[in-house]
Structures are given as C-alpha cells and as structure tokens.
Amino acid sequence: MRIVLTGGGTGGHIYPALAIARGLKENNPKAEVLFLGTAKGLEADIVPREGFNFEIITAEALRRKLSLRVFKTVFSAIKGFFDALRILKRFKPTVVVGTGGYVCAPVISAAVMLKIPTLIHEQNAYPGITNKLLSGFVTKVAATFPESRKYFSSRADIKVTGLPVRPEITMAEREAGVKALSLDGNRFTVLVLGGSRGARSINKALPDVAAKVCGQQGMQLVLVTGQTGYEETLGDFRSRGIDLAGCGNVTVTPYLYNIDEALAVADLVICRAGATSIAEITVRGLPSVLIPYPYASGNHQEYNAEALVRKGAAVMIPDRNLTSKVLWDTIYNLFSDRQVLAGMAEKSRSLGKPGALKHILQLINDISGQ
C-alpha cells in the first residue's frame, strides 16, 4: 500500500494525519507513506521530525476579500495542483488522505482527476472551507462530529469516525498521574489547559479563582498557562498576594509533557474547544467547562463546544462572558453537585470514540480495495 497524506497549517490538521500514518505503518510495516505540505506550514517542521517522507507543494490560504492577493492565491493553487499532479503520477499512491487546511485543495483535486481513491477527515463540528468544497468529489468523508454532516455536499459519502487520540490518553491511570504530578489523590482535581495560543483570557481569570481554591481541603487546581503566558500569570498571582507554595493545592506550570497523566487525575477540565482537546476529554469521559477561542476560523470552536453542551457533557462560557466570578461560580456549582457532574461524565464518555483510528484505517482499506 502506498499512501499520500496531506494536511497542514496548524497542529489540528497535522497531528490527525500523523496518527493515521503511524496506524498504517503499525498495521502494515511495508506500507509507503508520503506527506505533501507547504514550506510555510508547521508540517514542514513537524512531519520530517516524526520520520516520514515529506515533499513541498505550493499553496496559500483562500482570500475572502477581493484584492491583488486573490490573484496570487489563485496562481498558487494552480501551481500547487500541477506540483501535486507531478508527484502523484510519480509516487502512484493507492489512496490519498487529506486532514484539512488549504494545502489539501490542490492535492485532493489532483488525486480526483487521476481517479485515485480519496478520503478527507474533518476534525470540527463546523467544517473548514476546503473540506466543504472537496466533500462532493472525494470517495469518503470521515467526520469527527455528526453535527458536521449538514455542511457537506449532498453527494458526500460521510462516516462518523471520531478523531484519533494518542494511545497514552486512554491508557493513563489516575494513581500514576497523582504520583507524577505530586498531587493529592483524594482531592477533587480541576485541570485548566490554557495552551500556547489564545489562552490569555483564561489565564487572566485564574488568579482570583486560585485564591478561592488556595488551602481548601477538598479541591486542587492545576493550571497549564502555555509558554507565552507563564511569566505574566505568575506576575498576576504575585500582585494579588497569592503564595503558591503556601497554598499547597495550586500548581501553575507553562507546559505539561505528560498531559495524559494529568487527564487521568482530572475530575473537571477547563479548556478551549479545539477538536483534539474535545476528543481527548470525551475518550476519558471527563466533564468539562469549554471556553471557545473566539478568533478560530469560522468560529468552529463554538460549534464544537455546542455539540457537547447539547448532549449534556459540558458547560460553555463564551470568551466575551468570561470573568473570574463566572468561572469560579461554574466550578463551585459542579464541585458541589456531584450528581450533575457524574451525569456530565457519563454523557462525555458516550461521545468518546476510542476506536476512531481503527475506523479510519478500515475506511482507507475499503476504498483502496486491499
């Protein structure tokens, strides 16, 4: 089997593609995998470091406003199409898989023209423009959220597979997480995942929340600020006179490499509403407070959050409404009503798709005829 994978621009498009690539190689060590991406996207750095072959094509994001740059985008798309056509003719893939981002358009279009079986994977409840446009031409569409169905072409053959998550996420155990993070296994654990992008409003709301948690016997707080917000957040704690060492139950860190163990300890997660975060939360069956990033393209994070809220698995706080008081009241109400919290956890678990990767790999086998 020879597979071409394409997707990029952001980690949300790249990491699902890498999960699929690893799954393919584990199932069939002789499978040949080639990534196609742009020189400017994160994929140019991430994919080669993961040990996969990578080739560059030309592509640029679609401009919604008419300007001279629109002509440059059109020219790039045409050039990218012929770049992809040349590579696909040479590599002769069995299947071409796209995971979103503007780089997918020329690659998938070239594959369709060459009558190569194609699959696209959509991570969000509100699909990106590239996947919406391609959905009517590809062989199969793999969707993370059933809510995304209505946005695709009426001709699309859609299967709801979920989003692949790393095996460590499902395998991590609470006891190991408690030990690794030096936490108290008997306390209610609130995990706040700000992340490196768009987390400032969450970080700003946390010092006053932490002041209320500080010293409480029944609760502990783990705040992951992201590298860029760490020093500023520590400054906010100092300005409020909060002694983190003296609290004993508030941890502030810029980054967690062992996020799998943190999720294993968490009783409640507070985070943005990116597709990967939601996939990890639901596969663990965790209740959450979702604060969608307001500048996400197409406001897709709010659509993701609403998909969980409608099922009773999460509470959503729009970023514009986020204050320390609103956040603390939400946390405390859930902490105080364990029956509601348990119901949210059950609903979350019902939405999780631990078999997502297996399902996607089966679709690839189905369309390849192997």
Give the number of residues written for the chain: 370
Do 332 and 207 share a structural domain? yes
Which pTM does this prediction carry?
0.90
* Residue 189 sits in the same domain as residue 330: yes
Please tell me the distance from the alpha carbon of residue 212 to that of residue 229, in angstroms, as a whole number: 21
Query: 297 and 195, same structural domain?
Result: yes
Instruction: Kindly state whether residues 59 and 133 are assigned to the same domain.
Output: yes
Q: For the domain that residue 228 is a member of, what is the CATH number? A: 3.40.50.2000
Q: Number of folded domains in the chain?
A: 2
Do 243 and 144 belong to one domain?
no
Q: What is the pLDDT along the chain (370 residues), one digit of tens a residue?
A: 999 999 987 788 898 999 999 999 999 999 999 999 998 888 999 999 999 999 999 877 665 555 566 666 777 888 999 999 999 999 999 999 999 888 999 999 999 999 999 999 999 999 988 899 999 999 999 999 999 999 999 999 999 999 999 889 999 999 999 999 999 999 999 999 976 555 889 999 999 999 999 998 999 999 999 888 899 999 999 999 999 999 999 999 998 888 999 999 999 999 999 999 999 999 999 999 999 999 888 899 999 999 999 999 999 999 999 999 999 999 999 999 999 999 999 999 999 999 999 999 999 999 998 6
Q: In this structure, are 124 and 96 located in the same domain?
A: yes
Domain carrying residue 308: 168-351
331 and 188 within one domain: yes
Find the DSSP H helices in the chain. 11-27, 43-49, 68-91, 104-113, 129-134, 167-171, 174-180, 200-213, 230-239, 244-247, 259-265, 275-284, 300-310, 324-336, 338-351, 356-368
Residues 314 and 336 in one domain: yes
Here the tokens at position 321 are 């409404």
